[in-house]
Chains A and B, each alone.
Chain A
Amino acid sequence: MLGFLLRRLAASLLLLLLVLTFTFFFLRLIPGDPAHIFEGQRLTLEQQQRLRQIYGLDRPLPLQYLTWISSVAKWDWGTSLSQQRPVSTVLGEAVPATAILAMAALVVEYFLALLLGIASALRRGSALDHGIRIVTLLFFSLPLFWVGLMVVLLFSYVWPVLPASHMHSVDADLMSPAGRLLDLARHLFLPALVMGIGTAGGTARFLRASLIEVMSQDYIRAARAKGLSERRVVWVHGLRNAIVPVIQVFAIQLPVLLSGALIVEVVFSWPGLGQLTFLAISTRDYPLILGAVALSATLVILGNLLADILHALVDPRVRDA
């Protein structure tokens, strides 16, 4: 297990380095650098030149890259142009909000996916199965941002029982800790629901197919032949094996989850990584954009690593592969 862990860790670090390098050069290929971007403030050519010197943009590209990657290794991501604060601080403040939203969305997703996936697999071919098939298709077809807007419209206009934007109420600072938590939960509910529904459809279908496949295996027949209750056969023997491929899909879904967070955060004014990236782009905050892309790539790679480890825990065969 230790060897497996080390191998996966090394591969992840290598991948991370590749992604960072790729991002750096990709963004540098784009015409216009931070000095050029300040042209809105009508700088003279000399002033632009001076800015380039300050930011080190007049040096050869490989040298710039080495400087950047070595300061990144020291966790120095540069200074945000729009906020004049370290990028790592700005990003660090946004991560918890996105993490809370993503966790809540995952709970919604897996609750719905397990419910729909198991029900349709066990009642395969029935009217219920066909109904669930339509529901899951709707789930992954509906545009997240449209559903989000409709939810905002419904809850802030027609039926204002739940707040449909921001993370806290204006007076949250005056509330008791329990009150603040409740306030957060109320604000969290709608964005998490929209985000979770967006990914639940695909996962439910995947789980259904996986469970049907598993339930036709010999070891399920053996478990039934032993006289185990059908409930035990399905939940312990069936589901445990059916969930393995779902864990792998989870890793593939991480970029989707982050992209979903980006859109949901913009629609619901949720102060997380997505909204920050969006604002960074509208203010052309170059170091912040680079930091946000790099951070999201890191999260995705970490997620893949985690999924591999989980996979190895559930399925011992993977460890030796």
Chain B
Amino acid sequence: MPWSIRGCAMLRSRWRSPTLIWGAGLIALLAFSALAAPVLAPYDPNEQLDPPAGSYRRPGTSLAAVHLEDGSWRLAERARRTPEGLTIERLGAVETLPASRVVNLTPGGVADRRVYLLGSDRFGRDLLSRILHGARVSLAVGLISAILALTLGVAVGSAAALGGRVADAVIMRGVDALLAFPWLFLMIALAAFFRPDPAVVVALLGGTAWMGISRLTRAEILSLRNREFVVAARAMGQHPLATLWRHLLPNAFTPVLIQTTLLIGNLILLESSLSFLGLGIQPPTPSWGNLMSEGQAVLLQAWWIATFPGAALAVTVIAFNLLADGLRDALDPRQARQDGDAGGATLPAP
């Protein structure tokens, strides 16, 4: 077999690793459900339907939805057409509504139903719809803050690597100090004083997560700096910033990309932790973290409220970490070989 074809086959087989496929597949699925949430979600995530009767319904509950002429809805376990009108069983009580008051009356009773596939919360809101809409918030916050961290990290790392010995020492000592800082405590303190809106949360997350990227960028640039193609570019009189942009950063791209993938998962996790503590995204905007925070208060009465958003969060973080693992194997065989066949030293950023 000619060399080039065999090379191609090897390349393709590297891309066929199960971790990569599972990670990318899950993320594609999550991104699709987040983008299509308004279409996929069965109900409006903030619609509060008949609170006492719609509250804390178990997953899979299906209720008859009675539309009254004043525009409000009643949810009933059972609704029967009777000569007097509509007889409904609601919260254990039987009551009869005159036919003139019911808008959606049919010969058999009412045809509309409200189905809580994953249960409902305190206000009769549909948990599935809230989780789907929460995915938009959680994924967007994770992605945007990761891009912010990537930008800051690459800028600081490049400055340290190319700025000379003194700048390097000062910057990297500073980065070490920032790495040693218990950020969650400070973030919590900050979030407690600023009423946090999503932009503040993104700024806090991105602004405190770039240190790992900057260390990595610096290390990569230092190892590339004396390679022939870089020296040649410099010798031809290329501006250092142009060298950085055309030669150094593209070649440092792979490990930084992998680190950023890990970071997205971690930042989504961190956003949820903050929101869980009541300090990130504020209700009524649903995010997985604040859904779980609502669920914690009623954990023993309504287990589904904390369980399902957490499961969605767990799957998301697992997906990003699988993708990072798979990308490392596929793009960075040097590193993969060093670690053995089954992955290794990529630590999640603290």
Closest chain B residue, CB of each to CB of A144: B273
Taken residue by residue from 221 to 258, chain A's Cβ proximity to chain B (1 for < 8 Å, 0 otherwise) reads as 00000000000000000000000000001011111101
Kindly state whether residue A68 has any CB partner on chain B within 8 Å.
no
Q: Which residue of B lies closest to A210 (CB)?
A: B345
Out of A138, A153, A266, A297, name the residue touching B300 (CB < 8 Å).
Answer: A153
Known contacts A137-B321, A141-B265; A255/B182 CB under 8 A: yes
User: Does chain B have a CB within 8 A of A146?
Assistant: yes
Query: Which one of B188, B273, B340 contacts A125 once the chains associate, using CB atoms below 8 Å?
Result: B340
Q: Are A143 and B273 within 8 A (Cβ)?
A: yes
In the assembled complex, A208 has its CB within 8 A of some CB on chain B? yes
| Contact in complex: B277, A256 (CB < 8 Å) | no
Query: Does B269 make an interface contact (CB < 8 A)?
Result: yes
The answer to whether A292 and B185 touch across the interface, beta carbons within 8 angstroms, is: yes
Which residue from B188, B310, B321 sits with its C-beta under 8 Å from A141?
A: B321
User: Among the listed stretches A24-32, A71-79, A183-191, which one makes contact with chain B, having 4 or more residues with CB under 8 Å of it?
Assistant: A24-32
Given contacts A15-B177, A304-B180, contact A149 B306 (CB under 8 A): yes
A85 in the interface, Cβ–Cβ < 8 Å? no
Query: Cβ of A293 and Cβ of B317 under 8 Å apart?
Result: no
Q: Tell yes or no: A106 within 8 A of B by CB.
A: no
- Contact partner, A137, options B182, B185, B269, B318, Cβ 8 Å: B318
Contacts of A125 in B (CB 8 A): 340-342
Asked if A281 and B192 sit within 8 Å, CB to CB, the answer is: yes
The reply to whether A124 and B341 contact each other, CB–CB distance below 8 Å, is yes
Quick check: is A65 within 8 A (CB to CB) of the other chain? Answer: no
Q: Mark A193-226, 1 if CB is under 8 A from B, else 0.
A: 0000000001001101110110000000000000
Are A146's CB and B342's CB within 8 A? Answer: no
Q: Do A249 and B185 form a contact, CB below 8 Å, given A141-B265, A153-B299, A153-B300?
A: no
Q: Are B343 and A258 in contact, with the CB atoms below 8 A?
A: no
Q: Name the A residues within 8 Å of B340 (CB-CB).
A: 121, 124-125, 129, 208, 212
What is the number of residues of chain B that contact chain A, defined by CB distance less than 8 Å? 52
Check B186 for interface membership: any CB of A closer than 8 A: yes
Partner of A146, one of B192, B292, B322, B339: B292
Determine if A67 is an interface residue (Cβ-Cβ < 8 Å). Answer: no
| A137–B344 CA distance with the chains assembled, in angstroms | 11
B275 to chain A, nearest CB (A): 10
Q: Does B333 contact A (CB under 8 A)?
A: no
Report A-chain residues with C-beta under 8 Å of the C-beta of B299.
Answer: 149, 152-153
Chain A residues with Cβ under 8 A from B162's Cβ?
A: none
How far apart are B200's CB and chain A's nearest CB, in angstroms? 12
Please count the residue pairs between chain A and chain B whose beta carbons lie under 8 angstroms apart in the complex: 167
Chain A facing B: main interface SS: helix
In the bound complex, do residue B181 and residue A263 qualify as a contact, i.e. CB atoms below 8 Å apart?
no
Chain B residues with CB under 8 A of A172: none
**CB-CB < 8 A to A210: which residues of B?**
345
Asked whether, in the complex, the Cβ of A262 is within 8 Å of the Cβ of B314, the reply is: no
Closest to B270 in A: A259
Are B345 and A18 within 8 A (Cβ)? no
Q: Is the Cβ of A15 less than 8 Å from the Cβ of B310?
A: no
A144 to B289 alpha-carbon distance, docked (Å)? 12
B163-195 with Cβ < 8 A to chain A: 177, 179-186, 188-190, 192-194
Chain B's closest residue to A130 (CB) is B342
Neighbouring A residues of B193 by C-beta, 8 Å: 27, 30-32, 284
Give A287-317 as 1s and 0s: 1 = Cβ < 8 Å from B's Cβ atoms: 0010011001101110010000000000000
A19 touches B (CB below 8 Å): yes
User: Is A137 a contact partner of B322 (Cβ separation < 8 A)?
Assistant: yes
Q: Give the docked Cα–Cα distance between A255 and B270 (Å).
A: 13
B108 at the interface (CB under 8 A from A): no
| Contact across chains for A255 and B296 when beta carbons are under 8 A apart | no
Cα distance, A140 to B279, chains bound together (Å): 23
A98 at the interface (CB under 8 A from B): no
Q: What is the bound-complex CA distance between A299 and B181, given in angstroms?
A: 10
Say if the beta carbon of B261 comes within 8 Å of chain A.
no
B342 with A277: CB separation less than 8 A: no
- Whether the pair A262, B189 counts as a contact (CB closer than 8 A) is no
Could you give 20 example pairs across A and B, Cβ below 8 Å?
Answer: A23-B186, A121-B340, A124-B342, A125-B341, A129-B342, A132-B342, A137-B325, A141-B314, A143-B310, A143-B313, A143-B317, A146-B306, A149-B307, A153-B303, A153-B307, A206-B347, A266-B277, A284-B193, A300-B182, A301-B180
Given contacts A133-B343, A292-B185, 14 further A-B contacts (CB under 8 A): A19-B177, A30-B190, A125-B342, A132-B342, A133-B342, A141-B314, A149-B307, A153-B299, A153-B307, A202-B348, A205-B343, A205-B345, A208-B345, A254-B180
